[in-house]
Amino acid sequence: MPRLSYRKALNRALADELARDEEVFLLGEDIRVAASNVTAGLLKRFGPERVRDTPLSEQAFTSFATGAALAGARPVVEFQIPSLLFLVFEQIVNHAHKFPLMTGGQCAVPVTYLVPGSGSRTGWAGQHSDHPYSLFAHVGVTTVVPATPADAYGLLVSAIRCDDPVVVFAPAGAMEVRSDVDVASLRPVPLGRGRVHRRGDDVTVVAVGHLVHDALAVADDLADQVSVEVFDPRTLYPFDWDGLLTSVSRTGRLVVVDDSNRSCGIGAEVIASVVERVRLHAPPRRVTRPDGAVLPFAPALDRAVQPGREQLRSAIQHLMKDG
């Protein structure tokens, strides 16, 4: 079976949607030459009207996309750096997200915001290493963080077809993942539906984005001690609460591994939402970035601030001792 890379899956999703729907177009910095490699070959195939390289004007081109969407287009906006989302948070939250309600349902704003390489890029330090997906879940903007190439394809396609704004985080830690995929079998993946990557009976580990791969590795390592179920929400907002509750109701234990800062991160919401509904055998745990994290430059420091396999392993082991 052919090997599909995560990056190529995103590229294929963009190409397929550009080919399928004339209203889809791309906006972003250096997308003409595919600096992020996600738009490779698209200019040649679809031309500069639909693969629009922009000046460095994130706020204006984000709202330009809002306007185009109000007029019926389906823009996909690529951001070079995850922290650029801070720069355009106002444009996304205060305008794109609020227009349908504020106008009493007169419009839709189907824009996709794509961040290839979110989270730590190792060595890019403080201002390039953020992973602000929890902010978008907090404000109620549809937010997806695909872990695998097939999900990257399927979720990006669904994001583009969605009538609401959607932020797509493609974690740097997942961008190099390749998997055996029958390309002909690639399909849209529904938004708001999680996926159990590994069945288990003792504990549910909710892992977000690239951390799914770490969770699977830890689950394998611990296989002779504990049976770990790995649940990948894929979409953080709207969250697949039914899927997760089904899993946790069976295992009775919960650990979340999440690349957000701890306070108000999605991990906190996952735990709160589960304990509101399910009586667990042991207090739940979460493995996250520290509060207020700024990723330091030196590689050992950068790694120290991100949730890691060792932390996850010990969280699972401690939790099993707790009950």
102, 223, 298, 301: which one binds another protein (CB under 8 A): 102
CA 40, CA 32: separation in Å to the nearest integer?
8
Check residue 26 for interaction with another protein (CB under 8 A).
no
Q: Look up tokens 């729907």; give the residue.
A: 21
Check residue 106 for interaction with another protein (CB under 8 A).
yes
Pick the catalytic residue from 95, 97, 128, 197.
Answer: 128
119, 173, 192, 265: which one binds another protein (CB under 8 A): 192
CA 187, CA 155: separation in Å to the nearest integer?
9
Check residue 49 for interaction with another protein (CB under 8 A).
yes
| Phi and psi based region of residue 13 (left: phi greater than 0; alpha: psi -120 to 50; beta: remaining) | alpha
CA 228, CA 83: separation in Å to the nearest integer?
34
Check residue 21 for interaction with another protein (CB under 8 A).
no
Q: Which stretch binds another protein (CB under 8 A): 52-60, 148-156, 214-222, 297-305?
A: 52-60
Helix or strand holding residue 18 (H, E): helix 6-20
Radius of gyration over every alpha carbon of the chain, rounded to an integer in angstroms: 19
Check residue 68 for interaction with another protein (CB under 8 A).
yes
Largest CA distance in the chain: 60
Q: Look up tokens 């190792």; give the residue.
A: 122
CA 78, CA 73: separation in Å to the nearest integer?
16
Binding mask 219-248 for another protein (x = CB under 8 A): -------------------x----------
Active site residue 131: no
Check residue 188 for interaction with another protein (CB under 8 A).
no
Contact footprint for another protein (CB under 8 A): 49, 54-55, 57, 59-73, 75, 90-91, 94-95, 99-110, 140, 142, 162-164, 192, 238
Catalytic residues: 128
